[in-house]
Structure 1
Amino acid sequence: MVTSVRPALSARLTHWLKAEWLLVLFGALALVLALADPQPAARYRHWLQLPTLAGLMGLMIAIQGIRDSGLVQRAASALAARAHSLRGLGLLLVASTAMLSMGLTNDVSLFLLVPLTVAIGGMSNLPVLPMVVLEALAVNAGSTLSPIGNPQNLLLWQSAHLPFFAFVRGMLPASAVMFSLLVVLTLAWLPKGRVHLDARALDDHRIATPLAVVSLLALASMVLLMEHGLALEGALGLLIPFALIARDSLRRVDWALLATFAAIFLGLGHFAELGIIGRALDHFDFNQPLTVFLGGALASQVISNVPATVLLLDHASDPIALAVAANVGGFGLVIGSLANLIALRLAKQPHGLRLFHRVSIPFLLVCAPLVYLAWRWLG
């Protein structure tokens, strides 16, 4: 009996390590740095970014309830039934994702659109994984334009005390280049054919009305509370109604994803504030636009664009230059933007990471010089 249990446990552990390699990697980084460079507890709380984690938790709970209620499937049926061409449907989803990210932030947009895309793919011939990759790129392009579109823009907008529309004007050339390239990619990548529906998948999408109402109210309240800095209170407040009426939805929330983000925040936050990193940055002249652009974009590929923004905030004198650099850095490697990880995790498609890099890295190489030229000439 014992000998038969051990191989099963070993196989489960191996499967978990493969599935959660990011959690293991950044958890190990956070642990190694904590042992090699101990810091006061207040520093770890700062790096953990509890409001951000709480916001993600609340959004994950609300969206899981919406998915379990049948609303996503009903919306997917309605949209797929009215679509004609795959490219037209793809452009609609990409444009919707980009537009939503300007006002609801990149994370919220993905939590709404990726489940919808997966549901549409389940009842039609829409290629799900390419669409999810396009949507991950779309939130980066769309959120670039708005001061509230993503965390790095919000940080720079508030720290620089820029007027809302002055920030938008400064980011417009970069966002326009990104979105134009994304439209070209969408048209070139998606097949030309018409949308073909599976009639069986369209039938009988019942809606669990109480869960749907609670989940929609939960989503709206989380977005509102996040805007007012009350994400932790909002997330904790959702636990009670969902524990009473939707325990299964709570169990199905991707808690490992939340733990992965916590590990990333701790590991990269600590890494970015190591003394050796600060001393290395002192050798560069961040008054030069190209230095800021390359520094922000390249740092994002290593530590993600939000920590890269924090790292360079006191070195770069031009907040728009740093914002452009950090947003460009959201393309390329998956770690460039945490929104990339959210999109792939929500989709749960095989070989998602491989396909993402096959598209996102060339996209960065083409996009970065064009964005820099457009920003310098038109910004």
Structure 2
Amino acid sequence: MAVSASKTWRQRLKDEWMLAAFALLALVLAIADPQPWSHYQRWLQLPTLAGLLGLLIAIQGIRESGLVQHLAGLLVARAHSQRMLGLLLVSITAVLSMVLTNDVSLFLIVPLTVAAGGISNLPVLRLVVLEALAVNAGSTLSPIGNPQNLLVWQYLRLPFLQFVGAMLPAAATMFTLVALLTWFWLPRERVELHAEQIDGHAVSASQAALSIVALAMMVLMMEHGHAIIGASLLLIPFALFDWRLLARVDWLLLATFAAIFLGLGHFAALPWVGQLLGAVDLSQPLHLYASGIVASQLISNVPATVLLLERAPDAMALAVAVNVGGFGVAIGSLANLIALRLAKQPQGLRLFHRVSIPFLLVCAPLVYLVARWFG
């Protein structure tokens, strides 16, 4: 019994290595470099965590209503080939990320992709990796597509369309590369529907409707800066009336993001990190571009934006750099981690890096040349 329990905990630790690693980083930094409590509160990004919790609750309700499985069946039944269905899903993901933000679009599309793969021969993990790349590309275009764009947009106070026009060359280049990768990586075979895998579970229209309303409400609350209130409005009723659904929410994903925010936030605030950046001549376009990408690979693109924004003489060039920095390692964009976590596919992180790192190496110079040409 004790040996079995030991194996279970070792496997759990292996599965949640990212949570363990960043929690350890946050703890070590807290001991080595203690800071006032107000700093930890700022690094924790409670509104972001509250928004994520609200989305997790709403999406769990949609999943349990049977609506996702029903839509997946309809989609697979009408698909002509894996390649064309992949292009459709990738395109929808990119478009949704422009208006609903990158994480919300993943919460909608990845469960649909997983459900479709469960009743067909779709290569689910390949599609999820492509969808993670697609949200990075699509959200680049919009000032509300991702947190780093929102930061730059609010900092510069540009008109909406002016921001879109400035980001269009980079976003178009990035999405073109994602579309080409989708076309050549996905098989041309027809989509085969595995009828025996369809559970026949009836759709609960009331639960689906309530969950969709909850999702829309949560998105609106996040857009207007009231994520904590929105999450509370969902959390309290579910805790009182449907606590079993609440128990099935991925709380470990929430804990992982809290550990990442604390660990990376503290790391980015270390004096030597600021000194290192101060030694880089960010007035040189290539230096600024490379700094945004490298910083994103180390501390994720949102903290990289916070760290570099005040120092960057060209905030729009920084926006391009940190969006490109969302490719590469998974930590480059938190949307990558959300996609992989929602998919729960074996070897997901390994395949993501085998694709995303070469993609960054191809994408980065092309986007730089295009952005400079049209800049």
Q: 2:15 — aligned with what?
A: 19
Matching residue's letter, 2:149? N
Q: 2:268 — aligned with what?
A: 272
Q: 2:288 — aligned with what?
A: 292
Q: How does 1:229-378 map to 2 (within 5 A)?
A: 229-378=225-374
SS in 2 for 1:194: coil
Shift of 1:375: 0.2
Q: 2:25 — aligned with what?
A: 29
Q: How does 1:103-122 map to 2 (within 5 A)?
A: 103-122=99-118
Task: Provide, for residues 74-127 of structure 1, a one-character-per-residue CA deviation record: whole Å limited to 9, x for no partner.
Answer: 111111111111111000000000000000000000000000000000111110
Q: 1:139 — aligned with what?
A: 135
Q: In the alignment, is residue 206 of structure 1 matched against residue 206 of structure 2?
A: no
SS in 2 for 1:148: coil
Matching residue's letter, 2:295? A
Q: Do 1:304 and 1:335's aligned partners in 2 also have CA atoms closer than 8 Å? A: yes
Shift of 1:245: 4.1
Q: 1:44 — aligned with what?
A: 40
Matching residue's letter, 1:122? G
TM-score, normalising length: structure 1? 0.97
Q: In the alignment, is residue 69 of structure 1 matched against residue 65 of structure 2?
A: yes
Shift of 1:314: 1.1
SS in 2 for 1:117: helix
Matching residue's letter, 2:125? L
Q: 1:60 — aligned with what?
A: 56
Matching residue's letter, 2:352? F
Identity %: 68
What is the CA–CA distance in structure 2 between the aligned matches of 1:190 and 1:244, rounded to whole Å?
45
Task: Provide, for residues 311-370 of structure 1, a one-character-per-residue CA deviation record: whole Å limited to 9, x for no partner.
Answer: 111110111111000000000000100000000000000000000000000000000000
Counterpart selection for 2:213 from 212, 217, 227: 217
Task: Provide, for residues 236-279 of structure 1, a one-character-per-residue CA deviation record: whole Å limited to 9, x for no partner.
Answer: 11013323443222111110000000000000001001111111
Q: Do 1:48 and 1:262's aligned partners in 2 also have CA atoms closer than 8 Å? A: yes
Counterpart selection for 1:194 from 190, 196, 199: 190
Matching residue's letter, 2:158? L
Q: Do 1:211 and 1:245's aligned partners in 2 also have CA atoms closer than 8 Å? A: no
Q: In the alignment, is residue 93 of structure 1 matched against residue 89 of structure 2?
A: yes
Shift of 1:212: 1.5
What is the CA–CA distance in structure 1 between the aligned matches of 2:237 and 2:256, rounded to whole Å?
26
Larger CA deviation: 19-28 vs 211-220? 211-220
SS in 1 for 2:101: helix
Counterpart selection for 1:168 from 155, 164, 168: 164
Shift of 1:213: 2.1
SS in 1 for 2:117: helix
Larger CA deviation: 31-40 vs 237-246? 237-246
What is the CA–CA distance in structure 2 between the aligned matches of 1:48 and 1:239, rounded to whole Å?
19
Shift of 1:202: 4.0
SS in 1 for 2:113: helix
Shift of 1:201: 3.1
Shift of 1:211: 1.9
Unpaired segments ≥5 residues, structure 2: none
Matching residue's letter, 1:123? I
Unpaired segments ≥5 residues, structure 1: none
What is the CA–CA distance in structure 1 between the aligned matches of 2:292 and 2:168, rounded to whole Å?
18
Shift of 1:180: 0.5
Q: Do 1:87 and 1:191's aligned partners in 2 also have CA atoms closer than 8 Å? A: yes
SS in 1 for 2:225: coil
Q: Do 1:65 and 1:246's aligned partners in 2 also have CA atoms closer than 8 Å? A: no
Task: Provide, for residues 43-76 of structure 1, a one-character-per-residue CA deviation record: whole Å limited to 9, x for no partner.
Answer: 0000000000000000001001100110100111
Matching residue's letter, 1:33? L
Q: Do 1:33 and 1:270's aligned partners in 2 also have CA atoms closer than 8 Å? A: yes
SS in 1 for 2:273: helix
Alpha-carbon RMSD:
1.0
Counterpart selection for 1:155 from 138, 151, 154: 151
What is the CA–CA distance in structure 1 between the aligned matches of 2:122 and 2:346, rounded to whole Å?
16
Larger CA deviation: 337-346 vs 239-248? 239-248
Shift of 1:203: 6.0
Shift of 1:217: 1.2
What is the CA–CA distance in structure 2 between the aligned matches of 1:203 and 1:271, rounded to whole Å?
47
